[in-house]
A = this chain, B = another copy of it.
Amino acid sequence: MKQQDHSFLSPESVDEASRVFKALADPTRIKILYLLSQEECSVNHITEVLEMTQSAVSHQLSFLRNLRLVKYRREGNTFYYTYDDEHVITVLHQVLKHIKC
């Protein structure tokens, strides 16, 4: 196969794909997304379940927010996060399921 025959895999597609995979390439983000795939969660709740500092969790949520993988709603002082990309959750579940086999 010649070099020019690969043009259908555009640089944009490759970059976008690597961004998606990068989002899933960290244990903490996997746990957060998995949690959110089951229920809406406050930051504090995530912090307790994952036994991590509030700051670390918040930074990761900021990361996921920038990639539009999660969104949140506010209720007073509490921020409730949900996932915002069905496809990414599907891919995550698929890989997790496959690993258990």
Chain A residues at the B interface, C-beta cutoff of 8 Å? 1-3, 6, 9, 13-18, 20-22, 24-27, 30-31, 34-35, 38-39, 45, 48-49, 51, 87, 91-92, 94-96, 98-100
Contact in complex: A3, B51 (CB < 8 Å): yes
Q: What copy number does this chain have within its complex?
A: 2
What does DSSP make chain A's interface, helix, strand, loop or mixed? Answer: helix
Q: Considering the chains assembled together, what is the distance between the CA atoms of A51 and B99 in angstroms?
A: 34
Contact in complex: B6, A35 (CB < 8 Å): yes
A5: shortest Cβ distance to chain B, in Å? 9
Contact in complex: A18, B9 (CB < 8 Å): no
User: A18 and B27 in contact (CB under 8 A), knowing A49-B6, A94-B91?
Assistant: yes
Contact in complex: B87, A17 (CB < 8 Å): no
User: A1 and B38 in contact (CB under 8 A), knowing A15-B27, A18-B25, A27-B18?
Assistant: yes
Q: Considering the chains assembled together, what is the distance between the CA atoms of A15 and B28 in angstroms?
A: 10
- Could you say which residues of chain B place their CB within 8 Å of the CB of A15? 27
